[in-house]
Amino acid sequence: MPVPLIAVAPSALDLSTLTQEVTRQRAGDGAVASFIGLVRDHNQGRRVSFLDYEAYEPLAIRALHRIVDEIGQAWPDSLVGVHHRTGRLGIGEASIIIVAVSPHRAHAFAACRYTIERVKQIVPIWKHEHFEGGDVWLEGATADPDDESAREAAYRIACA
Amino acid sequence: MRVTVRLFARLRDLAGSGELVRDVEGPATVQSVWRALVAEMPALGEYERTMSVAVNADYSRMSAAVSDGDEVAFLPPVSGG
């Protein structure tokens, strides 16, 4: 079965499979940067038990495609794959994997970092944190894909 | 006309459901759908300044027109990753 470059699903994430697919599509390139986000055991002073990720799946897929398009404009020689997991995830489980490939390392690192920053800005996915003593919905950025200042902030972080 | 309202994360918890079907008077906008919803469930109103909205699974604006059969989603600030 072909591996999609973009996925939002409850199935476990597999970095090696995604890496193989991205590098297969860019055979001959010299740099691969990857990022794995894991469920952390603490957050804002709370001892986390597990996270339950909820997504508005069709829009999340669409937002991820938008990020890939933005990368195509900022670093045209780069290709990115990103898979986000949903549902209940225990401590240490991967919630997101990102693989960026480019001829050279600078653009691979930048595209990888840009992707995670933009995911946190505009992809409609939410963490429901269950901790010792309660639970809380985490709320970060108001998603607005047309907000150029947010996009520029992500770009600056990616290139820092 | 009839629209499907989708609510996520804490908005879904506050409403007690992630999917509601509502009859609204035309011509409708995302804003008018939201106002009717808040009139019905005032607790949702706290999200007016921080939420995002989508029509048929595409980001939209409060001023956007809504047609019969559309899916209108209200999204709290996101926290993926």
Residue A9 has φ and ψ, to the nearest 5°, of -160, 160
pLDDT in tens, B45-64: 999 999 999 999 999 999 99
Of A62, A125, A146, the CB nearest to B80: A125
Res. A158: pLDDT tops 90: yes
Range of the domain at B40: 2-75
- For A49-56, what is the mean pLDDT? 98
pLDDT band at A1 (very low <50, low <70, confident <90, very high): confident
Q: Tell whether B43 is covered by a domain.
A: yes
Chain B CB within 8 Å of residue A114 CB: no
Contact B52/B14 with Cβ under 8 angstroms? no
- The answer to whether the Cβ–Cβ distance between B81 and A142 falls below 8 Å is no
Split into its structural domains, chain B has a count of: 1
Q: What is the pLDDT of residue A2?
A: 85
Q: What is the pLDDT of residue B48?
A: 96
Averaged over successive runs of 10 residues, the pLDDT of chain B (81 residues) comes to 98 98 95 98 97 98 98 98 97
Contact A113/A39 with Cβ under 8 angstroms? no
Q: Tell whether B39 is covered by a domain.
A: yes
Q: What is the CATH number of the domain that holds B21?
A: 3.10.20.30
- The answer to whether the Cβ–Cβ distance between B58 and A62 falls below 8 Å is yes
Q: Tell whether B81 is covered by a domain.
A: no
Chain B CB within 8 Å of residue A123 CB: yes
Higher-pLDDT residue of B56 and A160 is B56
Of B6, B58, B79, the CB nearest to A126: B79
The third-level CATH classification (topology) of the domain covering A6-159 is Aldehyde Oxidoreductase; domain 3 (3.90.1170)
On chain A, the residues whose CB falls within 8 A of the CB of B57 are 56, 58-59, 62
CA neighbor of A122 nearest in space, from A68, A66, A46, A81 = A66
Domain ranges across chain A: 6-159
Chain B CB within 8 Å of residue A6 CB: no
* Mean pLDDT score of chain A: 97
Q: Tell whether B80 is covered by a domain.
A: no
Gap between the Cα atoms of B14 and B9, Å rounded: 9
Q: What is the pLDDT of residue A33?
A: 98
Q: What is the pLDDT of residue A3?
A: 94
CA of A99 vs chain B CAs: smallest distance (Å): 14
